[in-house]
């Protein structure tokens, strides 16, 4: 009995985290997702590496949202992991306020949102960022 309990204690962290991963994977794939315009950011986070941190603009006409839902019950902020060297350029891109529309595809689970991907002007963020970098290198046309 003691031996079994000891083994359980040893495996408890891995079992709990595996269960959590399973639960999150199911939610990630099955929870209803919406395209929401995002504003505000801070790509730095001391623990988790580099993130875009933003607020959801549910009131924006371009944002889709669940029907018949109280706006107060929707998540207000989210974050999205991006590689370190992209984070700074994304920050500059937003700072320059050149009219780009940043849109997050967020799976909603209650008050929380899991951002599945990020699109800029309708393109995947990597492509939009690459195009923006090219424009920056060539200078204004």
Partner 1 sequence: MSLNGKLGKWVDAGLITAAQRDAIQEHERKFAGSRWKAGMASSGLLSVVLGLSLIVAANWQFISSDIKLVGHIIINLALSVLVWKWHGNPARKTHAEVALFLLWGLTLTFIALIGQIFQLSGHVYEAIRLWFWITTPMVLLFAQGRYMARLWAVAFIIYVPFDILSTTWDATESWNIRKSVLLGTALLLPLGIWFLGRWQRFASARQEVAATLRRLAVFTALAAASVATLEFYDNFYYSYSVFVPLAFAVLSIALRFALNRQTQFTADDKLTIDLLCLCGLYCTLPFLSYALSDLWAMLHFIALWGLAAAIWQQQGHAKYVSHAVTLISLRIFIGFLEIFGGLMLSGFGFIGIGLLLMGIGWATRKVQARLKGGVS
Question: CB-hemisphere CA count at 13 Å for 1?
Answer: 0
CA distance 138 to 106: 34
Alpha helices in the chain (DSSP H): 2-30, 84-95, 125-138
For partner 1, the closer of residues 51 and 132 by Cβ is: 51
28 vs 58, beta carbon nearer partner 1? 28
Smallest distance, partner 1 to C-beta of residue 140, A: 30
Cβ proximity to partner 1: between 12 and 101 the closer is 12
Question: Does residue 78 sit in helix, strand or coil?
Answer: strand
Contact positions toward partner 1, by CB under 8 A? 6-7, 9-14, 16-18, 20-21, 24, 28, 47-49, 75, 77-81, 83, 112-116
In the complex, minimum distance from the CB of residue 136 to partner 1, in angstroms, rounded to a whole number: 21
d(CA 132, CA 119): 13
Nearer to partner 1, 26 or 96 (CB): 26
* Min CB(99)–partner 1 separation in Å: 26
Cβ pair 114, 28 in contact under 8 A? yes
Q: Least distance (Å) from partner 1 to the CB of residue 81? A: 5
d(C-alpha 39, C-alpha 24), whole Å: 25
């Amino acid at each position: 009995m003691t031996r079994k309990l000891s083994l359980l204690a040893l495996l408890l962290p891995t079992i709990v985290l595996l269960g959590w991963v399973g639960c999150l994977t199911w939610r990630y794939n099955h929870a209803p997702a919406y395209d929401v315009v995002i504003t505000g950011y801070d790509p730095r986070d001391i623990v988790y590496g580099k993130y875009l941190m933003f607020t959801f603009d549910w009131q924006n006409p371009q944002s889709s949202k669940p029907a018949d839902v109280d706006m107060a019950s929707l998540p207000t902020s989210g974050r999205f992991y991006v590689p370190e060297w992209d984070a700074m350029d994304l920050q500059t891109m937003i700072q320059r306020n050149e009219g780009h529309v940043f849109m997050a595809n967020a799976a909603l689970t209650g008050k929380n949102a899991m951002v599945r991907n990020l699109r800029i002007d309708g393109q995947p963020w990597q492509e939009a960022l690459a195009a923006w970098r090219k424009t920056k290198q060539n200078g204004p046309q």
